Structure 1
Amino acid sequence: MDKGWLNKLGPGLITGAADDDPSGIATYSQAGAQFGYGMLWTLLLTYPLMVGIQAVSARIGRVSGHGLATNIRRHFPPWLLYTIVALLLVANVINIAADIAAMGQAASLVAGGRAHWYAAGAGILSVLLQVTLPYQRYVRVLKWLTLALLAYVATALTLNLPWGRILHAALLPKLSWQPDYITTVVAIFGTTISPYLFFWQASQEVEELRADPAAQPLKHARQQAGAQLRRIKIDTVTGMGFSNLVAMFIMLTTAATLGAHGVTQIESSAQAAEALRPIAGDFAFALFSIGIVGTGLLAVPVLAGSAAYAIAGAMRWRNSLELQLTGARKFYAIIIGATLAGTALCFTGIDPMRALYWSAVLNGVIAVPVMVVVMLLGARRSVMGTLVIPPRLRVLGWLCTGLMALAVVAMFATLG
């Protein structure tokens, strides 16, 4: 594989991989178990829309030289900024709790022992990695962790899949207005299009900018724009494609095994792994479980880091994973506090599925206004200079925003 092409992968790849966190794995597993191959079309639909909104977020970071929270603070009312940031923090902590709980359960299934202690170890390890490793080394760790997602590709490829039926279901789906069907579609949209991913990718572009002494915000260095915008495009298209491809293989695995054997209710990613064992064998079970732990180690830092970038940007605090702990105490305090708070929730007897449910509700509430703000920022010359987002990205971004708004309306309709 071309090393130059690999070097173009970073923020987009990590963002896409983090989207397939243990919470997402549970959602895709449930979709496959309950509806077989009938939900694959959602991944084909969300892919270009994800590329659009994530590319806009990345461009804002690289062109302006600031993360989303800083740009929102500079161009929108304080009440909007603080509401978005507060809801993001709460949703991320709940999501961290659900992910760490799933990691503990998966590790316990494979190695034995108490799930809670594995969860505690995962939370502490995540904190140590973020606090002790400089950004450039930490990014290399996260890139390697994306390989954990290949476990789901490998799991599916151990099965004898009916590719003709799969292609037909993906391209010519049978749609339904049944409440369970609509709820699952909304859950998939909410899982694939999440506000924390916007904040993370924009902030990682700023980190990449700071890490290169020769780089400048593109609004002030038009000569660098061509190469950097091409890199962002390749990175985002690849990262979101990888994310949706893995989600597809998770659906395929659970559809061909659990769904085909009448197991249609999955309440966690660990339960999906455990249910695979008697149907697909120990090897598939082990791969699925190891993938949960690996993706959790990737996703938890992204959840905690995106919250820290958002709060630090809103409060004008120094923020960078390249800085040492003593150079950005408040920033790292948010990372540590969010991760440990999520870990502590695992010891409270909180229902992981209820946690996921409320996290999805909060993410749905936040997503639409954040996406509207992102699109408005991307079109403002005061933010982007002459590098405002082009028409094609505007169309994709606003389509994604409109689709998410419909998903949120559907979500609240199902709450009734």
Structure 2
Amino acid sequence: MAFKMTRPTRKTVAPASSAVADTAHEGDIVGALGTIKQHDHGARRSFWQRLRTFLVIMGPGLVVMVGDNDAGGVQTYAQAGQQHGTGLMWTLLLLVPVLYVNQEMVVRLGAVARVGHAKLIFQRFGKFWGAFSVADLFLLNTLTIITEFIGVTYALRYFGIPDYLSVPAAAVLLFTVVAGGSFRRWERFLFVLIAANLVLVPLAIMVGPDLGRIGGGFLPQLPGGLNSDLLLLVVSIVGTTVAPWQLFFQQSNVVDKRITPRWMRYSKADLWAGIVIVVLGAVAIMAVTAFGLAGTGAAGNWGDNSNAGTVASALASSPHAGHVVGTLFAVLLLDASLIGANAVGLATTYTLGDVFKKRHSLHWKISQAPGFFIGYGVVLAVSAGVVLIPGFNAGLITQGVQILAGVLLPSATVFLVLLCNDKAVLGPWVNTVRQNIAAGIIVWALVLLSLAMTASTLFPKGSAWFPDGISSAQWVAFFTVGAGVGALGGLAVLLASRVKARKEAAATARCLGGLDPEQVEDIDEDAQDALSRTERHALLRADRDTWQTPALDTLPRPVFSPLRKAGMLALRGYLAIAVVLVVITIVQMATGG
């Protein structure tokens, strides 16, 4: 029996009070390249209208992605190219869906909830889980900013500028730009730095790249076989390309720029532009070292004393590159370091503002939000001070930070997925089944990489169980079994969600007078049939474009089931062990053990 129902046209009403906590986060969208009024609802019909709108919205996705090719990124990609030529370029293609899926969820959360990532976690899951999510972030971000200042020293040493001048000057420049009290001026400064990345074009051309070899580099391969050293480098590439700070920065920056759901398509286009640039940039850096150092003593010889600075010097003395290439590489390193320090520093202070409920916006002046700017200044000062400590082992810290970022990313992604399935927060913007499947695959893949890094640390070459080290065949078996376990677990979760949906349909049926679930589904389908496809899409678009998260303190908190709580605690415990093992690995590398 089917019941015909018509669905009346309705106008979506946004919640009376929103979750916005900082008044600076409401108002006109002010970008580096223009302004969009807060209540602008005009249609963008022509190409030029849409392009102008995109140029105003553009920023958060572009900055977070280019900031990803920071000092640590430049060094890691350079190491991959110097050590393995084009053999690891394929890893960058695998990271494209990871970048998009993770950051697209962040864009939705920022535009719809209008609050930062840390605030959402604290408000929805409580102080315990909030502290769980940000404790590692603060440590990792501080270490990352240290690597950015290390990049500054490497770059400017190339030009003969001593560290005691270069590091303070960079810190003062970064603070001055952020503390200027203008979001537009800050974004314009970042766009200038991003434009400077164009030096990658002449860099890549001048080393005479072999396009055939570059194309072959995108075919999956394991140079020298899958061993612990190669695995460590792959984890480093993951950690530098997909880092936890990106989640916190982009969500807060979307909020700070005042982007709302109406502009979601433009924000996603902004994200894609950033992804294309970051991948092409990483490929170019690998190509510069792969071809620029080919046939020299540096090729295939990345040692404990190797770093981005030694790469610039090696390129300058290489017959395939030369002084101009070395100079441009140093300029690229300086530019990447400044972008990275700026973005990671802001990710930290945005998060501090969320946690301590203080004003945190680039629209404020220092007198209006002293805590925000003092926090930013302290982070820069501490990080810069550490770099100036005599005898500081910069190279190992840089590599260790990338590994640590790769290890901690699964935890950050788990909270991201939980928030994007919270209907009270995202309403019609919650994850679809496909989005959850993609996110689940990504989380499990990151967990497997983290477990592999842990295993390589626990069972190095010479250990009792693996005297010759873990072999390539054993690694393949590990990842094969891990993939199988993940597939079975995903299927179990999918079935459980289906059972839950059936129970909800049954409850609805009882409310409608004893109808069975199939009849309830018929009602919903017939109601949709009463409208044309165009009308349904228009209603859905109106719902999504005007929906915003209500005030967070009015929403009931989601309750973790005992199974989910046990899983989260297990993840926390494992990550604590993994972090200790990363430290052990770095110490072993430093001592030659």
Mapping of residues 67-216 of structure 1, within 5 Å:
67-110=116-159, 112-174=160-222, 176-209=225-258
Structure 1 counterpart of 2:326, from 285, 288, 302: 285
What one-letter code is carried by the residue in structure 2 that aligns with 1:405?
V
Q: Tell me what 1:275 maps to.
A: 314
Q: In the aligned structure 2, how far is the partner of 1:10 from the partner of 1:332?
A: 21
Structure 2 counterpart of 1:352, from 394, 397, 401: 394
**TM-score, structure 1 normalization:** 0.92
Q: In the aligned structure 2, how far is the partner of 1:376 from the partner of 1:182?
A: 29
Q: Is the 8 A contact 2:163 2:388 kept in 1?
A: no
Structure 2 counterpart of 1:368, from 410, 413, 418: 410
Q: In the aligned structure 2, how far is the partner of 1:116 from the partner of 1:406?
A: 42
Q: Tell me the alpha carbon deviations over residues 274-315 of structure 1, each in whole angstroms, 9 at most, x when there is no partner.
A: 111011111111111111111111111111110111121122
Q: In the aligned structure 1, how far is the partner of 2:348 from the partner of 2:302?
A: 32
Q: Is the 8 A contact 1:59 1:232 kept in 2?
A: no
Q: In the aligned structure 2, how far is the partner of 1:330 from the partner of 1:4?
A: 33
Q: In the aligned structure 1, how far is the partner of 2:184 from the partner of 2:441?
A: 34
Q: Tell me the alpha carbon deviations over residues 323-352 of structure 1, each in whole angstroms, 9 at most, x when there is no partner.
A: 111221222222111111110011113211
Q: For structure 2, list consecutive stretches of 5 or more residues without a partner in the other structure.
A: 1-47, 459-593
1:172, CA displacement in angstroms? 4.5
1:397, CA displacement in angstroms? 2.7
Structure 2 vs 1, CA of residues 133 and 157 (structure 1 numbering), >3 Å: closer, same or farther?
farther
Q: In the aligned structure 2, how far is the partner of 1:4 from the partner of 1:315?
A: 34
Greater shift, 10-19 or 159-168, is seen at 159-168
Q: Is the 8 A contact 2:82 2:293 kept in 1?
A: yes
Q: In the aligned structure 2, how far is the partner of 1:414 from the partner of 1:360?
A: 16
Q: In the aligned structure 1, how far is the partner of 2:135 from the partner of 2:222?
A: 39
The higher-RCO structure (CA 8 Å, 6+ apart) is 1
Q: Tell me what 2:469 maps to.
A: none
Q: Tell me what 2:282 maps to.
A: 247
Q: Is the 8 A contact 1:85 1:307 kept in 2?
A: no
Q: In the aligned structure 2, how far is the partner of 1:397 from the partner of 1:124?
A: 39
The answer on 1:411 being equivalent to 2:453 is: yes
1:35, CA displacement in angstroms? 0.7
Q: In the aligned structure 1, how far is the partner of 2:396 from the partner of 2:157?
A: 21
Question: What's the secondary structure of 1:171's corresponding residue?
Answer: coil
What one-letter code is carried by the residue in structure 1 that aligns with 2:386?
L
1:204, CA displacement in angstroms? 0.7
Between Structure 1 and Structure 2, the one with more helix by share is 1
How many correspondences in the alignment? 401
Greater shift, 153-162 or 296-305, is seen at 153-162
Q: Which consecutive aligned stretches of 4+ in structure 1 deviate over 6 angstroms post-superposition?
A: none
Structure 2 counterpart of 1:331, from 368, 372, 381: 372
1:365, CA displacement in angstroms? 4.3
Q: In the aligned structure 2, how far is the partner of 1:399 from the partner of 1:232?
A: 24
Question: What's the secondary structure of 2:67's corresponding residue?
Answer: helix
**TM-score, structure 2 normalization:** 0.65
Greater shift, 348-357 or 379-388, is seen at 348-357
Q: Is the 8 A contact 2:235 2:403 kept in 1?
A: no
Structure 2 counterpart of 1:19, from 55, 62, 68: 68
1:200, CA displacement in angstroms? 0.4
Greater shift, 28-37 or 144-153, is seen at 144-153
Q: In the aligned structure 1, how far is the partner of 2:142 from the partner of 2:423?
A: 34
Q: Tell me what 1:221 maps to.
A: none
1:191, CA displacement in angstroms? 0.7
Greater shift, 254-263 or 294-303, is seen at 254-263
Q: In the aligned structure 2, how far is the partner of 1:182 from the partner of 1:362?
A: 14
Q: Is the 8 A contact 1:32 1:252 kept in 2?
A: yes
CA-atom RMSD in angstroms: 1.8
Q: Tell me the alpha carbon deviations over residues 220-267 of structure 1, each in whole angstroms, 9 at most, x when there is no partner.
A: xxxx2xxx2211210111111211110110001101122442413163
Q: In the aligned structure 1, how far is the partner of 2:202 from the partner of 2:443?
A: 34
Which has the higher Rg, Structure 1 or Structure 2?
Answer: 2
Q: In the aligned structure 2, how far is the partner of 1:161 from the partner of 1:360?
A: 27
Q: In the aligned structure 1, how far is the partner of 2:277 from the partner of 2:285?
A: 12
Q: Tell me what 2:269 maps to.
A: 234
Q: In the aligned structure 2, how far is the partner of 1:254 from the partner of 1:411?
A: 26
Structure 2 vs 1, CA of residues 61 and 281 (structure 1 numbering), >3 Å: closer, same or farther?
same
1:95, CA displacement in angstroms? 1.4
Q: For structure 1, list consecutive stretches of 5 or more residues without a partner in the other structure.
A: 210-214, 219-223
1:414, CA displacement in angstroms? 2.7
1:105, CA displacement in angstroms? 2.3
Structure 2 counterpart of 1:309, from 350, 358, 363: 350
1:392, CA displacement in angstroms? 4.1
Q: In the aligned structure 1, how far is the partner of 2:407 from the partner of 2:86?
A: 29
Greater shift, 267-276 or 66-75, is seen at 267-276
Q: In the aligned structure 1, how far is the partner of 2:111 from the partner of 2:370?
A: 25
Q: Is the 8 A contact 2:236 2:403 kept in 1?
A: no
What one-letter code is carried by the residue in structure 1 that aligns with 2:202?
A
Q: In the aligned structure 2, how far is the partner of 1:162 from the partner of 1:105?
A: 28
Greater shift, 6-15 or 387-396, is seen at 387-396
